[in-house]
A = this chain, B = another copy of it.
Amino acid sequence: MSNLGIGQLAKRAGVAIDTVRYYERNNLLSPSTRLASGYRRYGDAELKRLRFIRRAKALGFTLEDIRGLLSLSNERSVAKVKQAAEAKLADVEHRIEELERIRDGLRTLVKACPGHGRAEACPILNSLNAEDVP
């Protein structure tokens, strides 16, 4: 079992030292112990936990979401964890659909635009000025 200082921990997890302390202030991660000097010491559990946080963040969870996930893992409430992941999945899928609509719109405009001539002939400009639905 490794016994890491904050710098080593941060390096191994791929985050900044300040971020580790920031997470501590925000109740996401505490050192397993402190030296008499006050230096933080971390073990494998904390390294895992920090990597958990980093990954969950990469998956689009906010720090608050992650606090929730971490506390669920203590409660051993697998159903709730799955629910949270499903909700986040639905959210991500929704955002993809919206972006795909935008992408298709942009593609159509780019294809239709001659790239020269008068502004009134540019479908991109005309589209931005179009009438929208409330």
Contact of A81 among B82, B95, B122 (CB under 8 A): B122
Which B residues lie within 8 Å of A118 (CB)?
76, 78
User: Which partner residue on chain B sits nearest A119 by CB separation?
Assistant: B76
A121 within 8 A of B: yes
Q: Which residue in B45, B79, B99 is a CB contact (below 8 Å) of A95?
A: B99
Nearest chain B CB to A12's CB is how many angstroms away?
A: 6
Q: Is A134 a contact partner of B51 (Cβ separation < 8 A)?
A: yes
**Chain A, interface SS category:** helix
A52 with B106, Cβ < 8 A, contacts A78-B116, A81-B125, A121-B78 known: no
Let me know if A115 and B72 touch, CB within 8 A: no
* A16: Cβ under 8 A from any B Cβ: no
Q: Which residues of B contact A77 (CB under 8 A)?
A: 119
A89 an interface residue at 8 Å Cβ cutoff? yes
Min C-beta distance of A27 to chain B, whole Å: 17
Task: Please measure, in the bound complex, the distance between the C-alpha atom of A93 and the C-alpha atom of B86, giving whole angstroms.
Answer: 24
A34 within 8 A of B: no
In this complex, the member of A13, A125, A127, A130 whose beta carbon has the largest number of chain B beta carbons within 10 angstroms is: A125
What B residues does A103 contact at CB under 8 A? 89, 92-93, 96
